[in-house]
Amino acid sequence: MNHNRVKQARQEANLSQQKLAAQVQVTRQTISLIEVGKYNPTINLCIAICKALNKRLDDLFWPEKE
């Protein structure tokens, strides 16, 4: 399971899960699962979320330490 700051970044951008989901064309549930670390998005989706939230990839996503 990878770590992410999607929730914090989304809240800073004043977006609901539904609005972010609509922007990156996934369901609200997918955004929710990404935020709690229960779903690992593909690189395309990671990039799309970063663009929607105006952040860099390593600002939002990083692997868990081994």
Partner 1 sequence: MVSLTRQKDERVVGLENKVYRELMYIVYALLLASLIYNYVQFGAQEAFLSIEVALLLLLSLYSGIRYQMMGLYTDKAEEYLVKKKKKYSTFYFVAGGLLGLGFSFSFAFNSAINYAETTAQSITYFATVFFVCAIIYIVPLALLTGFMPWISERKAKKRLQEDEGES
Chain positions contacting partner 1, by CB under 8 A: 24-27, 29-30, 33, 39, 41-42, 44-45, 47-48, 51
| Separation between Cα atoms, residue 66 and residue 45, nearest integer Å | 24
Query: What are the two backbone dihedrals, phi and then psi, of residue 4, each rounded to the nearest 5 degrees?
Result: -155, 160
Rounded to whole angstroms, the Cα distance separating 64 from 66 reads 6
Q: Which amino acid is at 5?
A: R
Between residues 16 and 29, which has the closer beta carbon with respect to partner 1? 29
- Shortest gap between Cβ of 12 and partner 1 (angstroms)? 22
Least distance between partner 1 and beta carbon 30 (Å):
5
Q: How far is the CB of 58 from partner 1 (least distance, A)?
A: 17
